[in-house]
Amino acid sequence: MSSPDINQQAISLKTNLELILQENQKLAAQIDFVQLAAVIPHLQRADRLFIIGAGRTGLALKAAAMRLMHFGFTVFVAGETTTPAIRKGDLLIAGSGSGTTATIVRAAEKAVAEGAEVIAFSTSSDSPLANLANLVLIIPAAQKQDHGKTISGQYAGSLFEQALLLLTDAVFQTLWAADGTAAEKLWERHANLE
């Protein structure tokens, strides 16, 4: 590749990163942080935490699961072979932009049937997932099939997935700041079979 092509790509990369950051800042200004703070007591009173999301949403929630485990919560990712049965006293944290993803809705139905609580991260408060949840945190981002670029110039549900990662990291940071546990102590829980 010639030098001008690399320079043009570098400009494009910078422009696209700025778009992503600007969209996340705009979205953050629309978040109901009181609603987000309501997640914390649900986490603190749960016996165990279960995480479920499909695709990139699932990856963002797996990152949240790791941080919550570092903090000392007992956390399982739904679908993993070692994940036990959910039961009363547990909390399912479910992410679905549309709130209609069949596997996520079925998991929430099962959690409710077993007496567990459900927290949903979604773009919609009017969906099958939202109707099952004890708490719905609305992320005002485009859904995967919103191709009109009216909410986001990014592809598919990228803004939702990015915001989900950032918001769950903010929850972790808030828990950690309030608790005061030394980073070295949290690090003892970090994976050592890498």
Q: Which residues are catalytic?
A: 161
Amino acid at position 174, single letter:
T
- DSSP code of residue 18: H
- Is the separation of the CB atoms in 91 and 99 below 8 Å? no
- What is the sign, positive or negative, of the torsion defined by CA atoms of 107, 52, 143, 163? positive
DSSP code per residue over 12-65: HHHHHHHHHHHHHHHHHTT--HHHHHTHHHHHHH-SSEEEEE-HHHHHHHHHHH
Q: Distance (Å, rounded) from C-alpha 168 to C-alpha 39?
A: 10
Tally the residues of the chain.
194
Phi, psi of 92 (to 5 degrees): -100, 125
